[in-house]
Amino acid sequence: MKRFPNYYQNRRRLKELQYDNVKFRPTVNDINEWFPILNEQIFGNKLSNFTEVSVKKLRKTHAYFNYDDSRKDMNTSLEMHCVFSSKKLFVEILAHEMIHHFQHSYNEPLGHGPTFLAWSDNLKLRGLTLYKVA
């Protein structure tokens, strides 16, 4: 695997994230900053960018991954909640949604089954927790 110049710095950034109980209010720029880091560190740069990204107040969840298979360009979108209890939780939820993006991109069953849970050790090696939500 080709290593990018910031590979080890990005790995360190992930490991240094902590639950600091300081509310984190993400922006689209935060998503665009962390997506390539997670893509490199966890997914080996195999994911394409989301077609659309937004931050808004969501009810009952931290994020949504949406897709439209009726379009040839595999239109995908990500909606993230506007407040998280910590920056680390934000990054972990982003990684969670990126797993769904991977499942969709590589025709794996979508959901929280075996293809989802298989990523747990990969995230744990980088100091992250994989949350399975119903």
User: What string of DSSP letters covers 28-93?
Assistant: HHHHHHHHHHHHHHTTTT-PPPPSEEEEE--SS-SEEEEEETTSTT-EEEEEEES-BS-HHHHHHH
The pTM of this model reads 0.91
Q: Is residue 87 part of a domain?
A: yes
Please answer whether residues 125 and 104 qualify as being in contact, where contact means their C-beta atoms are separated by less than 8 angstroms: no
pLDDT > 90? residue 15: no
* Residue 25 pLDDT level (bands cut at 50, 70, 90): very high
Task: Return the pLDDT at 46.
Answer: 95
CATH of the domain at 48: 3.30.2010
Count of residues for the chain? 134
Q: Is residue 24 part of a domain?
A: yes
Task: Return the pLDDT at 72.
Answer: 56
Task: Return the pLDDT at 4.
Answer: 63
Task: Return the pLDDT at 28.
Answer: 97
The string of pLDDT tens digits covering residues 49-108 is 999 999 999 988 899 898 887 755 678 999 999 999 999 999 999 999 999 999 999 999
- The total of structural domains in the chain comes to 1
pLDDT > 90? residue 109: yes
Task: Return the pLDDT at 110.
Answer: 92
Q: Is residue 19 part of a domain?
A: yes
| Average pLDDT of the chain to the nearest whole number | 90
Q: Is residue 130 part of a domain?
A: no
Domain holding 19, by residue range, is: 7-125
Among the listed ranges 6-10, 62-66, 83-87, 115-119, which one has the minimum average pLDDT value? Answer: 6-10
Separation CA 87–CA 20 (nearest Å): 8
Task: Return the pLDDT at 20.
Answer: 87
